[in-house]
Amino acid sequence: MVIKPMIRSNICINAHPIGCAKETERQIAYVKAQKAKRGTKSAKEGGAGPKTVLVLGCSTGYGLASRISAAFEYGADTIGVSFEHEASARRAGTPGWYNNAAFDRAAAADGLRAITINGDAFSDEIRAKVIESLKAWGTTLDLVVYSLASPVRTDPDTKVLYKSVIKPIGKNYGGASLDMMGGKISYMEVEPATDEEVANTVKVMGGEDWERWMKQLAEAGVLAQGCRTVAYSYIGPKLSHPIYRDGTIGAAKKDLEARARSISGSLKAIGGAAYVSVNKGLITRSSAVIPIIALYLGILFKVMKQRGTHEGCIEQMERLFAERLFTGSNAAAGTVPLDEEGRIRIDDLELAPEVQAEVDKIMPGVTEENVAELCDLAGIRHDFLAINGFDIEGVDYNEDIEDLTKIG
């Protein structure tokens, strides 16, 4: 069959196997180029960076980019966990299923050990599988990356299913909504969350599960001396704070930061630490359905590309590893630069005052007539499609694909 993007309500609901694989390979190539540019030595080359890394939420976005950086710059063996719909010959899998397949293929070609576990990372069953795999390898973890972004979570103790929402707290929030594919601008307003919705979102997107992971890994004796763990967050510009930083997701991220301090305390015995990295805003599956976000990102991308400071997932995660986490001699774990709240800031280029001032100047004047001129409309469209393997250079989208399990 010939696979074209199927977009419903600003969400792409299918994936292109070869496109997903090609995009994963592009990220791997970028990291390998950065390795050569920086002169980073892998573990096999005598480097002192991470040797074994666990990535929770490994299949897309920051999680996939983190796993690629660990493996292909530092030569780390990796275990990845994600919950994907598997492909069959006639039925496509989720984008993450193809990304994982491409990663596994590239890791094997480079002689890197890699285990990809498909399952619910919130469950104790998957935690047990990870621990079992580490013990079979006879190794311990130098780094645990927590990059889960699920809309639902089942509490492993109570078996209650919780659902997260993206809503403001206390009052309505509205603003311009940009249809990334059509270029149409409309007004969108979101009602405030109930107290129950806030609590449920914290339960799903906060740090409770991260803390449970680190506790069980520690009790199993699979954390190396000096093991670090990092989870990801976002702050963004002031104009989005009511729907994000001061909304339900922000409440969850504040819980994540509090849990980081608790986890750090528990890791002191082995000389380890927990960090929250605040990352740059990017196009995601939910960007199109949150007021302001898509329009803001379109303007931001235009401004940052003109300044030469724009980064995607892979550029940020490679920089996080090389310039924040592993800054010591021979890529060893060095001193981590933190802000006044104890967080890593990789959103420094996005929130640079001169960048935000330019975005603020442009935003009020954007209309449907000039949106393609004032926004990087082509760029955010590409990113939106690329998440699902479309609009990738070098892919023939008119090719008839007979077996949807094949990635090339």
344 has which bridge partners?
277
Spot the catalytic one: 30, 232, 234, 244: 244
Q: Give the C-alpha separation, 408 to 398, whole Å.
A: 15
The closest of 61, 27, 8 to 392, measured between CA atoms, is 27
Q: Give the C-alpha separation, 215 to 146, whole Å.
A: 14
196 has which bridge partners?
none
Longest dimension (CA), the chain: 61
Phi-psi map region of 192: left, alpha, beta (phi>0 left; psi -120 to 50 alpha): beta
Q: Where are the alpha helices (DSSP H) in 138-247?
A: 195-205, 208-219
At residue 186, what are phi and psi to the nearest 5 degrees?
Answer: -135, 170
293, 300 contact by CB (below 8 A): no
Per-residue DSSP letter, 287: G
Residue 162 designated active-site: no
66, 382 contact by CB (below 8 A): no
Sign of CA dihedral 339, 351, 301, 231: positive
Q: Residue 369 CA to chain centroid, in angstroms?
A: 33
Catalytic machinery residues: 244
